[in-house]
Amino acid sequence: MPDLSNMTVSIERAAAILREGGLVALPTETVYGLGANALDPIAVAKIFAAKERPFFDPLIVHVPDIDWMPRVVGQFPEIARQLAQRFWPGPLTLVLPKVDAIPDLVTSGLPSVGVRIPDHDLTRDVLRLANVPVAAPSANPFGRLSPTTAIHVHAQLGHRIDAIVDGGPCRVGIESTILQIDDSGVTLLRPGGISLEDIQSLVGNVKLPVSTVSESPIAPGMLASHYAPRTPLRIVSEAPSSVASTRTGLLVLCNSAAFTQFAQIEELSPTGDLVTAAANFFQALHRLDSAGLEEIIAVRFPENGLGRALNDRLRRAEHHSSDRSST
């Protein structure tokens, strides 16, 4: 695998590679994205190949500011405008009708496209210099833990991509909240970096899909197995007082001082703050996953604010573990 220092590039070089149809990992406030020119189906196909991502999982398109919207979406209703004004740049993706210029490969053949403005100056500069919308899923192999540092990207995908822009650790640390906007109103497709409460306070009623975890290919951020460590993960309501194996790890929000029975403990926020917990979440899981443990026990988060998105990611990580043990 090449050195990380051989892979990191300037924003000018990153923009040139994107324009030439290459793949560049880009920092955002959520997680690192694997970017390609969203208007070039060959470049977009390389994302799917590098990630081994199934073609039925559509990509989010990134733009640097709201004036670019007509290059990506065919309609931008008033409610989208309000959400954009309040939460962009930021961890919110809006799913809206696409323009013809966006290839079907980006949207998995859907007539709609997910779009957002990331809150990261380096990446918005790259997008402006490249002067094309950029499709970017998380820069990790499909289904695995999301990368929140350039080192994570390098370790998981370094051999398959052209370059990395190193923007430091991701500030928010979990993926964007995805909202579908259509005639029936606003639907939450995936909980994420903006809490449901914050969205409801602006737009009122938000519809929740029947289940936020499904096997349906319609909104594949909803795939049951996703964001998963290699080590089996089990969710509990409270940390157990004894564990079967000495090689058990614990992922917990706070108050971990009392636990001595675990080989490794990751406490996400000493004060129990969910925003801090989100920022540390994937890094902590990466560390637990590379510690040679037999099992990771994760204590469920409070189901409010960013806790909803964190619990969603835990459920998918657990689902993956149970899948694997049964096959």
Q: Which residues bind Mg ion (CB under 5 A)?
A: 138
What's CA 195's distance to the chain center, in Å?
A: 15
| Contacts of ligand AMP in 46-65 (CB under 6 A) | 57-58, 60
- Write down the least CB distance from residue 243 to ligand AMP, Å: 32
Cα–Cα distances (Å) from 166 to 148, 181, 186, in that order, read 11, 33, 35
Task: Render the burial of 41-69: b for 16+ CB within 10 Å, e for the rest.
Answer: bebbebbbebbebeeebbbbbbbbeeebb
Please count the CA atoms within 13 angstroms of the CA of 226 that sit on its side-chain side: 22
Which entry of ligand AMP, Mg ion, none binds 312, CB below 5 to 8 A by partner kind? none
Which entry of Mg ion, ligand AMP, none binds 90, CB below 5 to 8 A by partner kind? none
Asked if 254 contacts 270 with a C-beta cutoff of 8 angstroms, the reply is: yes
Which entry of ligand AMP, Mg ion, none binds 36, CB below 5 to 8 A by partner kind? none
List of residues 6+ apart from 267 with CB closer than 8 A: 252, 253, 254, 255, 256
- Write down the least CB distance from residue 302 to Mg ion, Å: 24
Residue of minimal CB distance from ligand AMP? 221
CA-to-CA distance for 172 and 75, rounded, in angstroms? 29
CA-to-CA distance for 271 and 251, rounded, in angstroms? 15
Q: Which is nearer to ligand AMP, 110 or 151 (by Cβ)?
A: 110
Alpha-carbon Rg for the chain in angstroms: 19
- For residue 304, how many other CB atoms are within 10 A of its CB? 11
Strand partners for 264? 249
The single-letter DSSP state of residue 272 is -
Task: Render the burial of 79-88: b for 16+ CB within 10 Å, e for the rest.
Answer: bbeebbeebb
- Write down the least CB distance from residue 263 to ligand AMP, Å: 31
Q: Does 118 bind ligand AMP (CB under 6 A)?
A: no
Q: Does 278 bind ligand AMP (CB under 6 A)?
A: no
Q: Which is nearer to ligand AMP, 169 or 302 (by Cβ)?
A: 169
Binding segment toward ligand AMP, per CB under 6 A, in 220-228, 233-241, 291-299, 311-319: 220-228
Q: Does 220 bind ligand AMP (CB under 6 A)?
A: yes
Beta strands in the chain (DSSP E): 24-26, 33-37, 60-62, 92-97, 112-116, 134-135, 163-164, 177-182, 185-190, 233-236, 248-252, 264-267, 295-299
- Write down the least CB distance from residue 135 to ligand AMP, Å: 9
Q: Which is nearer to ligand AMP, 102 or 122 (by Cβ)?
A: 102
- Write down the least CB distance from residue 221 to Mg ion, Å: 7
Q: Which is nearer to ligand AMP, 91 or 307 (by Cβ)?
A: 91
Mask: binding to ligand AMP, 127-146, rule CB under 6 A, as x and -? ----------xx--------
Q: Which is nearer to ligand AMP, 248 or 319 (by Cβ)?
A: 319
- Write down the least CB distance from residue 35 to ligand AMP, Å: 11
Tell me the pairing of strands 24-26 and 33-37. antiparallel
- Write down the least CB distance from residue 93 to ligand AMP, Å: 6
Which entry of ligand AMP, Mg ion, none binds 267, CB below 5 to 8 A by partner kind? none
Which residues contact ligand AMP (rule: CB under 6 A)? 57-58, 60, 95, 107, 110, 112-114, 137-138, 175, 178, 189-190, 219-222
